[in-house]
């Protein structure tokens, strides 16, 4: 038997559910878009929760692997699948943190609180570190200017994979979680730990040219029927 390299195998496992599956209705996709792109699971978002958030320029990602298990390579492998799965997005892995506008920390749990508090939120004390993993997105009317994610690597395979897929994708714009989305990783009660077909549709809708950074709910509702129909036809 020919063995598949570990990094390639990991990438295949992460995206296996992103392949087209059953057809979703336009209404399902529009509802999922509105629930994930608007709102936020953290109360610190303020007005940013009310606008469309997406990278208007390429996402330049630096993977800062501080985990004892050195799982950063699996993060890179997943990142490199995204341009072929999401039309309209450009994602580049960079070697210099100063060149990045999206930084991903791969951590052990013992370091999580300090890194999130001090390096993600810039606080002097290690007091604010919600969740089992986390992403912070800074956006304006012109698009996302900065994302930072923290992924825990030493608390089991499911949590690592779940955190990797969810936080990376949320760092691209759909930051909210919703318990009604049973087919999505953007639901902390769902069993998914892959880039699901439903979520692939949502990301392709977000990066559709008719959806612009800074749009309000009312503005985006006017274009979503055409966007959903186009994406659904392309991913069929």
CA distances from 111 to 80, 152, 157 (A): 26, 9, 18
- pLDDT of 49-85, one tens digit each? 899 999 999 999 999 999 999 999 999 999 999 999 9
CA distances from 184 to 101, 174, 191 (A): 26, 12, 9
Q: In this predicted structure, what is the pLDDT of residue 39?
A: 84
CA distance 62 to 76: 9
pLDDT over 60 at 227, yes or no: yes
The token pair that represents 144 in the structure block: 């996302």
- pLDDT of 16-54, one tens digit each? 454 554 589 999 999 999 999 998 766 555 678 899 999
- pLDDT of 134-166, one tens digit each? 999 999 999 999 999 999 999 999 999 999 999
pLDDT band, very low/low/confident/very high, at 236 (cuts 50, 70, 90):
confident
- pLDDT of 163-188, one tens digit each? 999 999 999 999 999 999 999 999 88
Q: In this predicted structure, what is the pLDDT of residue 45?
A: 59
pTM of the model: 0.88
Q: In this predicted structure, what is the pLDDT of residue 42?
A: 65
CATH topology of domain 6-234: Collagenase (Catalytic Domain) (3.40.390)
Number of helices and strands in the chain (H, E): 8, 5
Q: Where are the chain's structural domains? A: 6-234
pLDDT over 50 at 204, yes or no: yes
């Amino acid at each position: 038997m020919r063995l598949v390299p570990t990094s390639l195998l990991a990438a295949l496992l992460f995206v296996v559910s992103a392949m087209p599956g059953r057809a979703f209705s336009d209404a399902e996709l529009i509802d999922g878009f509105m629930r994930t792109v608007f709102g936020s699971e953290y109360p610190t978002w303020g007005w940013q929760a009310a606008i469309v958030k997406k990278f208007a320029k390429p996402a330049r990602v630096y993977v800062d692997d501080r985990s004892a298990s050195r799982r950063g390579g699996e993060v890179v492998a997943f990142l490199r699948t995204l341009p072929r799965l999401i039309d309209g997005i450009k994602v580049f892995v960079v070697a210099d943190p100063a060149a990045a506008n999206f930084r991903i920390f791969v951590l052990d749990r013992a370091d999580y609180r300090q890194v999130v508090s001090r390096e993600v939120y810039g606080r002097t004390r290690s007091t604010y570190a919600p969740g089992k993993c986390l992403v912070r997105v800074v956006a304006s009317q012109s698009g996302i200017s900065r994302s930072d994610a923290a992924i825990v690597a030493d608390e089991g395979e499911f949590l690592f994979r779940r955190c990797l897929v969810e936080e990376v994708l949320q760092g691209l714009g759909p930051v909210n979680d919703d318990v009604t989305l049973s087919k999505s990783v953007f639901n902390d009660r769902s069993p998914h730990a892959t880039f699901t077909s439903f979520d692939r549709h949502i990301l392709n809708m977000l990066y559709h040219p008719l959806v612009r950074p800074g749009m309000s709910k009312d503005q985006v509702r006017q274009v979503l029927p055409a966007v959903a129909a186009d994406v659904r036809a392309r991913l069929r």
